[in-house]
Amino acid sequence: MNKNFILYGAILIFGIAAPFIFPAFKVQLSILCILIILAITWNVQGGEMGYNTFGNILFYGLGMYLCASVQVGMFFPLGEWTEGGGEKTFVHTPAQFFQGFAVGLAVAAVVPAIIAGLIGYSILGLRGHYFAICTLGLGVAAGEISGGIEIIGAGQGFTTPPFPNVDRLEARGEFFYFCSFIVLVFTFLAVKAIYSTRFKLVLNAIRDNEDKAEAMGIQTMKYKIIGWMISAFFCGLAGGIMGGLVGYIDSTDVAFDGREMGVFMVLMAILGGKGTLWGPVIGATLFHIFKEGFWTFFLGWQYVALGVLIVVIVIYFPEGIMGWLREKYPERFGEVVDEADRKAQVTLK
Amino acid sequence: MDFLIFQVPMLTLQAVLDGLLLGILFALIAYGMALQWGVMNIINIAQGDLVILGGYIAYFMYLYGIHPAWGVIVSPIIMYFVGVIIYKLVINKVVDRDLFISILATFGISILFMQLMNFAFGADVVLANSGYGTTMLFDNSVTLPNSKIFSAFISIVFAIGLVIYMKKSKLGRAIRATAQNARAAKILGVDTEKVYAATFGINAALCGVAGALISITFTIHPYMGLPYTIRSFMIVIVAGLGNLPGVAMSGMGLGVFEEFADYILGTEFRIGSVFLLLVLILVYRRFKLSRKREYLK
C-alpha cells in the first residue's frame, strides 16, 4: 500500500513536470497520454471481457468529430465553416474557444457512450471472430460514410478551431498536454476503481465462459453493454482532445483510422499484456517510443515496420510483457507457488 | 433522390447484369476464403491484398507488352508460391491458436503488403487494358464490356475446375479429409502440414486469378484490399462454410446489391454500404439465432 502510494505519487509528479522538463516533446507526450487511454479502454473489452474489438475506433472518431463540431457550431454556422476549409473567416475569442472545447468534450464523451449503449445489444450478441469482424466493419463503415457527409467537411476534411492567441507561445502545447494528462489520470483511476469491484469478476467470468456465467445467473448482456459504454466514454474524450491537438480531421486518416489507431490500441494492449491494469500503460509507452523512433529514422517504411511488428508480437509475444513477468515471477503477482511442485515439472519435448 | 434507376427498366437491367458479372468475381475470392477457413480455421484479412497483388502481376505483364489475359495463367502460379511462403513464415504458427490471433496476424500481413505494394507500384489507380471492346444490347441501351463477360467466364471455369480437382485428385481428397478431422487425417498418414501449405497456396492462387481479372475489368490500387476481404467474408458467412452453390449465389447477390447502392446512394457511399451491410447481416443472424438461445459459431 505504502509502496504503491510512492509509485503513484512519483508518476503523478513526473506527469505534471514532464512538459516543463521536456518542452520539445509536449505534443508527443500528449499523444502518449491519448494512446495509453485507448489501450486501457481497449483492454476493458479485449483483455478483461474477451471481446476482441476493432470498433473502439468508432467512438474515438465520433468523439473527435463531435467535439470539433460542437466547438464550432456553438458560435458559428457549421456548414460555412467547413466550406471555408482552412480559411479563417470566423475566429474564436479565447473565452469562446475554451467554452466550446469544454462543452464539446462533454458531448464527445456522452454521445459515444449512448451510442455504444444503443448498438451494444445488437453487436455484443456476436461472439469471437464474428464480433471482431463486425466491429472492424463498423469502424470502416463509419469512416467511409463520414467521408461522404458534406456538413462535417466530407472528403476535404474539417479544420478544428485554431488555438486562440494568448501571450505565451507555449500555451497551446501545455493546454492540450494537461487536458490529455488529466483525462488519462481520470481514466486510469476510474478503470482501477472498476477493476477492484465485482464488475471485473463478472467481465472475467464472461471471458472465461460466457454460457456458464449466464447459467450462474449473471445478466451478461447488461455487463457487456456497461463495459462497452465505459470504453466509449473515455475513447470519445480521447478523440475530442486528439482532434484539437492535431487541428485537422480527416474521415479515414485521422478520425476513423482503423488502419493506424484502431490497430495500435489492440497492439499496445497485447504488447503490454492484456487483462492487466498496468499492461496497457507499459505497452503503450514502449510502443510509442518505438514508433516515434522508427517514424523519425525510417520515414516511409513505418507501415512495413508496423506490419512486421504486429506479426512478431502476435506470434511470439501473445501474452505480453506482464504475462511474461507473471510467468517468470509468479510470487510477485500474488500466486502461491509450491516449490517442490515447480521442480517436479518436466518440460515435454 | 429521384430513383431514376427504377423508372428506366434498361438502367435496372444494366445494374443487374453488371452486378451479376461482378458478383461472380467476388464469389471466386470468397471460394478461396471458404476453402482455407474451412480447412485451417483461419480468417485471412490479407485476402484482399493477395487479390490486389495478383492484379499487379497482370498489370505488369500488360506494361511489358504481353496481353493481360495471360495474367490469368501466370498470376496464380506466382501467387501459389507467395501463398506457400506466407504460410511457412507466418500462418503455420497461428493455425491451431485462437482465431483472433490469426485475424491480427493476417491484419499485420495486410498492412505490410499494402505498403510494400505502395512502394513497388506507386499509389496510382491503374488498370490493364485488354482491348476487348464492348457488347451492346437492346438498341445500345445496355452496354457490357466484353472484359467483364470474359472475366466471369474465366472465374466460372476456374471455380468448376477447382471443384473437380478437390473431388478427384489425391491432394483434394487429403484437403477434404483434413478439413473434416485434422487429427484423424494425420493418424491415417496425411501430411497435414503439407496440406495446409497447399490449401493456403491454392487460396492465394485463386486470389491471383481474381486479381488478374479485376485488373482487366476494373481498377486496382494498393489500398483497395480490405473491401475485398470484407466482401468475401460476408459472402462466406451468408452462404455458410462448404456450401459452394450458396457462395456463388450470395456472391452474385452482393454484386447486384453493390451496383444498386452505387446508383441510389452515390459512388462515395459504395464501400461504406458494403461494410454496413456486413454489420447488418451479422446482427440479423445474431437476432435470428438468439431466439433459439444460440449464437454464431
CA atoms of A232 and B174, how far apart (whole Å): 47
* The pLDDT of residue A87: 54
The C-alpha of A87 sits at a distance from chain B's nearest C-alpha, in angstroms, of 25
CA atoms of B135 and B165, how far apart (whole Å): 33
Phi, psi of A122 (to 5 degrees): -75, -50
* Nearest C-alpha neighbor of A57 from the set A296, A262, A290, A204: A262
Q: Is residue B288 domain-resident?
A: no
- The number of domains in chain A is 1
Its domain, for residue A181, covers: 26-333
Q: Is residue B23 domain-resident?
A: yes
Does the pLDDT at position A115 exceed 70?
A: yes
* The pLDDT of residue A88: 61
Residue A93 — very low, low, confident or very high, per pLDDT cuts 50/70/90?
A: confident
Residues from B contacting A (CB-CB < 8 Å) are 43, 90, 93-94, 97, 99-101, 103-105, 107-116, 118-119, 226, 230, 233, 237, 266, 268-269, 271-273, 275-276, 278-279, 282-283, 286-287, 290, 295-297
CA atoms of A286 and A317, how far apart (whole Å): 14
Q: Is residue B286 domain-resident?
A: no
Mean pLDDT, range A181-188, rounded to an integer: 90
- The number of domains in chain B is 1
What's the Rg (C-alpha) of chain B?
19
3-class state of residue A86 by DSSP? coil
Does the pLDDT at position B21 exceed 80?
A: yes
CATH number at residue B34: 1.10.3470
CA atoms of B216 and B156, how far apart (whole Å): 16
Q: Is residue B262 domain-resident?
A: yes
**Residue found by looking up cell 507501415 in the block:** A303
**Residue found by looking up cell 457527409 in the block:** A149
Chain segment B122-164, per-residue pLDDT in tens: 777 777 777 766 777 666 667 777 788 888 888 889 888 988 9
Residue B68 is given by DSSP the state G
CA atoms of A2 and B150, how far apart (whole Å): 75
What rounded mean pLDDT belongs to chain A?
83
Check residues A184 and A324 and name the one with the higher pLDDT. A184
CB pairs < 8 Å spanning A and B: 132
Which residues of chain B have a CB within 8 Å of the CB of A304? 112, 115-116, 119
CA atoms of A57 and A255, how far apart (whole Å): 8
* The pLDDT of residue B204: 92
- Residue-by-residue DSSP string for B150-162: HHHHHHHHHHHHH
Determine the residue of chain B that is closest to A267 in CA distance: B104
* Nearest C-alpha neighbor of B105 from the set B179, B192, B42, B36: B42
Chain segment B157-191, per-residue pLDDT in tens: 988 898 898 889 888 889 888 888 888 888 888 88
Query: B226 and A140: CB-CB below 8 Å?
Result: yes
Residues 6+ apart with CB under 8 A from A17: none
Q: Is residue B108 domain-resident?
A: yes
Chain segment B210-246, per-residue pLDDT in tens: 988 888 888 888 888 888 888 888 888 888 777 788 8
Q: Is residue B153 domain-resident?
A: yes
CB A313 within 8 A of CB B111: no
Lowest mean pLDDT among A115-119, A257-261, A333-337: A333-337
CA atoms of A248 and B111, how far apart (whole Å): 24
Mean pLDDT, range A128-137, rounded to an integer: 85
CA atoms of A311 and A300, how far apart (whole Å): 19
Kindly tell me the burial class for residue B110, based on how many C-beta atoms sit within 10 Å of its own C-beta (0-12, 13-18, 19 or more).
Answer: buried
Check residues A85 and B115 and name the one with the higher pLDDT. B115
Lowest mean pLDDT among A3-7, A283-287, A296-300: A296-300
The C-alpha of B38 sits at a distance from chain A's nearest C-alpha, in angstroms, of 14
Its domain, for residue B117, covers: 4-270
Does the pLDDT at position A80 exceed 80?
A: no
Chain segment A207-249, per-residue pLDDT in tens: 888 888 888 888 888 899 999 999 999 999 999 998 888 888 8
Mean pLDDT, range B83-97, rounded to an integer: 86
Mean pLDDT, range A106-110, rounded to an integer: 90
* The pLDDT of residue A111: 92
Lowest mean pLDDT among A83-87, A249-253, A276-280: A83-87
Q: Is residue B287 domain-resident?
A: no
> Which candidate in A53, A126, A268 is best for mutational testing of the B interface (most B CBs within 10 A)?
A126
Residue A113 — very low, low, confident or very high, per pLDDT cuts 50/70/90?
A: very high
Which residues of chain A have a CB within 8 Å of the CB of B268? 144, 147-148, 154-155
What rounded mean pLDDT belongs to chain B?
84
Pairing of strands B134-137, B142-145: antiparallel
Phi, psi of A126 (to 5 degrees): -80, 155
**Residue found by looking up cell 485488373 in the block:** B215
Residues 6+ apart with CB under 8 A from A262: A54, A56, A57, A136, A139, A256
* The pLDDT of residue B117: 85
Q: Is residue A13 domain-resident?
A: no
Chain segment B22-37, per-residue pLDDT in tens: 888 888 899 888 888 8
Mean pLDDT, range A83-98, rounded to an integer: 71
CB B236 within 8 A of CB B75: no
Instruction: Enumerate the β-bridge partners of residue A248.
Output: A159
CB A235 within 8 A of CB A59: yes
CB A258 within 8 A of CB B223: no
High-pLDDT (> 90) share of chain B, %: 5
Mean pLDDT, range A37-52, rounded to an integer: 88
* The pLDDT of residue A167: 66
Q: CB count, 10 Å around CB of A91?
A: 13
